[in-house]
Amino acid sequence: MGKFLPDNVVTNDDLAKLMDTSDAWIQERTGIKERRHIVKGSEDTPATMGYKAGMQAIERAGLTPADIDLILFATLSPDYYFPGSGVLVQKMMGIPACPAMDIRMQCSGFVYAISTADQFIKTGMYKNVLVIGSENHSGGLDFTTRGRGVSVIFGDGAGAAVLTREEDTSRGIMSTHLYSEGAHAEELSLIGPSTLRWVPEIMEANDPEDISYYPYMNGQTVFKHAVVRFSEVINEGLEKNNWTPKDIDMLVPHQANLRISQFIQKKFQLADDQVYNNIMRYGNTTAASIPIALTEAWEEGKINPGDKVVLAAFGSGFTWGSAMMVW
């Protein structure tokens, strides 16, 4: 496991200087106290942050970049429209030729990516897969009162994991469960610039009311679906493995909103030491949130060999998923 967070800490009070919001509102509704933002003009991008997190994971796995057979890069904020950020990481790591694939599943990106890695490993096609989740949100948010419902939530950062073939089938990824429901595609989205809203068109229209280049979120609808889908997909994983909530040593939920995590904790009657949250410090880092939280939980000695670890995510698409693992 590895992670990288930009040094620049942005508190709720810092945001209250830019827009009509308050530390009390943000903490009460989301649990967030501060987040990290890339400083404009710094070298950090989703690819460079993913590279740093990825190198840490590779070194901790006792490997070198030459051992990596496949790179999976989960992000909603790639460096370029194309090519994907996965190939940029491959270039930085000096890996001459291997597949490098971007996964565009937003907050569920890391769960989708490790499920993909798991399939390639179990079929025997690849041995060592580097999975990265990395995001630069701060560069594209509306830090005025108009955008406060979205911009106070999201933060920047990267997390990574190396998945390796293991002959002992009593440990590793036991099952993954993935879903999408495109009927809600626009409820959490960034529509333009895109092939529907080409940059030249937006510039030509020069319409100050056109803010389609900022993310849109129907917060309440997303919240309502999130709590239902989180519960369903965790339950599905528990049933598949004949586990009960008591068996869970650590649940690492996507860090969307502390209130969602608390709802899930209560619903499954989990103790505080069965759930890991760090949204207070980093905000919602989308595809990076689970690998950052998983890395921290492991670094803090809260995940140990043999532990039953559950990952669960929900986000734009809508997409959702869970992964059941024995560490």
Q: Which residues are catalytic?
A: 107, 254, 284
How many chain residues touch ligand UT7 (CB under 6 A)?
20
Residues 6+ apart with CB under 8 A from 304: 249, 327
Distance, in Å, from the CA atom of 122 to the CA atom of 120, rounded to the nearest integer, reads 6
SS3 311: strand
Least separation in angstroms between residue 156's CB and ligand UT7 is 14
The verdict on 219 binding ligand UT7 (CB under 6 A) reads yes
Measured CA to CA in angstroms, residue 320 lies from 4, 21, 44, 135, 303 at distances of 24, 30, 28, 18, 23
**Per-position x/- string for 158-197, each x denoting binding to ligand UT7 as judged by CB under 6 A, each - no binding:** ----------------------------------------
Beta bridge partners of residue 308, listed in sequence order: 326
Q: Determine which residue in the list 143, 216, 223, 327 makes contact with ligand UT7, applying CB under 6 A.
A: 223
Q: For 148, how many CA atoms within 13 A lie in the half-sphere containing its CB? A: 17
Alpha helix segments (H runs only) across 178-314: 199-205, 219-240, 258-267, 279-282, 289-299
Residue 91 to residue 95: CA distance in whole angstroms: 6
Report 296-315 residues binding ligand UT7 (CB under 6 A).
Answer: 315
Which residue of 111, 163, 226, 275 would you call a contact of ligand UT7, by CB under 6 A? Answer: 226
Give 140 or 149: the residue with its C-beta nearer to ligand UT7: 149
Residues 238-257 that bind ligand UT7 (CB under 6 A): 256-257
> Is position 278 an interface residue for ligand UT7 (rule: CB under 6 A)?
no
Binding residues for ligand UT7, rule: CB under 6 A, are: 21, 25-26, 29-30, 107, 148-149, 152-153, 219-220, 222-223, 226, 256-257, 260, 284, 315
